[in-house]
Amino acid sequence: MDVYCHEDECSFELDDEDVGTLVMALPRLKRLVLGHPCPMDLCNTTVACLVTISIHCVELEELEIHFNTRQMAAHLEEMAMEEEEEEEHSQMCGLKSLGVHGMPLVLAALEEEEVCNGLWNIFPSLECITRAEDSESDWGAISKQMFPGRTHGEEQTEN
Q: Is the pTM of this model over 0.85?
A: yes
Domain count, the chain: 1
**Domain encompassing residue 78:** 16-158
What average pLDDT score do residues 27-46 get?
A: 92
Q: Is residue 1 part of a domain?
A: no
In this predicted structure, what is the pLDDT of residue 139? 94
The answer on pLDDT for 157 being more than 60 is no
Within a domain: 75: yes
Asked, for residue 59, whether it belongs to a domain, the answer is yes
pLDDT higher than threshold 60 for residue 153: no
Output the CA angle 102-64-105, nearest 5 degrees. 35
Instruction: Name the DSSP letter for residue 63.
Output: E
Domain membership flag for residue 5? no
State pLDDT tens for residues 53-100: 999 999 999 999 999 999 999 999 888 877 765 555 567 899 999 999
For residue 130, tell me if it sits in a domain. yes
Report residue 154's pLDDT band, with 50, 70 and 90 as the boundaries: very low
Q: CA 156 to CA 151: how far, in whole Å? A: 9
pLDDT at 8: 82
Calculate the average pLDDT of the chain. 87
pLDDT beyond 90 at 5: no
Question: Is residue 47 in a domain?
Answer: yes
Q: Which amino acid is at 122?
A: I
CA distances from 133 to 82, 141, 143 (A): 35, 13, 13
In a domain, 11, yes or no: no
pLDDT tens-digit series, residues 88-111: 556 789 999 999 998 999 999 889
Identify whether 21 is part of a domain.
yes
Per-residue pLDDT, 27? 95
